Structure 1
Amino acid sequence: MSVNIDSRVVAPGSDDFVDQAWQLKEEINRQEGVLKQRHDFFTDAYRRSKVHCYVREGDLIGFAAVRRDGYILFLAVDPEFRSEGVGKRLVAHVADDHDTITCHARTSNENALQFYEHLGFEIKRRIDGYYEDGGDAYYLKLGADVGIADRISDLIRR
């Protein structure tokens, strides 16, 4: 990863980077048709989460908003930086704090599903009509039973 990309942590209750996170999420939504949350839902969940961020020259290029139980509410990486390992490193930060990581991903979001499966997440179940727009989701889990710390460390070294 480029040396001019900084890692930051936004504590629960903070608005730091919330507007940039919303803009990044909306850009990905326009390009890929995913991350379709409403503004109020997104900003409320962001503010209640610990958010791991990667920033380049003051611009947010990726973030993971995580609940206290290790559930990733939002994970987004600017498409220009997806080959830089930003997403892997975001998940690695989450793994530093949790023995188990879970999330939902749209069944139609091939990029996200491939990414999570590459990291070792397992699809635990399908939930029809999970999203507000009626979209279906998979519930994914990466946990101690699959060697989360070792798996993430191996991926970061590649």
Structure 2
Amino acid sequence: MSVNIDSRVVAPGSDDFVEDAWDLKEQINRQEGVLKQRRDFFTDAYRRSTVYCYVQDSDFVGFAAVRRDGYILFLAVDPDYRGNGIGKRLVARVADDHDTITCHARTSNENALQFYEHLGFEIKRRIDNYYEDSGDAYYLKLGSDVGITDRLSDLIRR
């Protein structure tokens, strides 16, 4: 599969690609049981974030919605495009603009935890009942203390 994709940045306050992002999030939710946010919560958070998107032709293949402080609210890659470095490229794009990156991941989301661990994120703490459905989360951090830019640049070159 070709990985020649276009990068787009959606500024806070815009809802460009919000429907595509919602549809991708819901597809992943149905298949994997993660990304369980309600629509109003999701769209509000999306509009308040800077959103890095990847699009190939007419396919919306992934996005990262990020707060001003480098906290990743949502990160999703279409399952058909996984394994092509898109998730790494999204995180690297976030790292271009932030000294540290943080996020939460469900303790049961092995795919996400392995992905973040591979990039060098560290689990800082566990939070019981973090999600609306009482699911537990890990708070993860990748920062300048672990050489964020060099680490991600090295990963992308592989």
* TM-score after normalising by structure 1: 0.98
Q: Secondary structure at the match of 2:16?
A: coil
8 A Cα contact 1:50 1:65, kept in partner: yes
Q: How many angstroms does 1:59 deviate by?
A: 2.2
Which residue is 1:60 aligned to?
Answer: 60
For these two proteins, the number of residue pairs brought into alignment is 158
Q: Is the 8 A contact 1:105 1:113 kept in 2?
A: yes
The aligned counterpart of 1:42 is 42
Does the alignment pair 1:124 with 2:124? yes
- Which deviates further from its counterpart, 51-60 or 129-138? 51-60
The equivalent of 1:30 in structure 2 is 30
SS at match of 1:83: coil
- Mapping of residues 100-139 of structure 1, within 5 Å: 100-139=100-139
Structure 1: how far apart are the matches of 2:141 and 2:153? 17
Contact 2:3 2:84 in 1 (8 A): no
**Aligned pairs for 1:138-149 within 5 A:** 138-149=138-149
CA–CA separation in structure 2 for the residues paired with 1:28 and 1:22: 10
TM-score (norm 2): 0.98
- CA offset digits 1:95-145 (Å, max 9, x no partner): 000000000000000000000000000000000000000000000000000
Alignment match, 1:16: 16
Give the share of equivalent positions with the same residue, in percent.
85
Q: In the TM superposition, what whole-angstrom CA distance separates every residue of 1:16-66 from its partner, at most 9, and x where no partner exists?
A: 100000000000000000000000000000000000000011221100000
* 1:3 CA displacement: 5.5
Contact 1:52 1:64 (C-alpha < 8 Å) held by counterparts: yes
SS in 2 for 1:139: strand
Structure 2: distance between partners of 1:77 and 1:132: 23
For structure 1, which runs of at least 5 residues remain unmatched after alignment?
Answer: none
Task: In structure 2, list runs of 5 or more residues that go unmatched.
Answer: none
- Name the Cα RMSD after superposition: 1.0
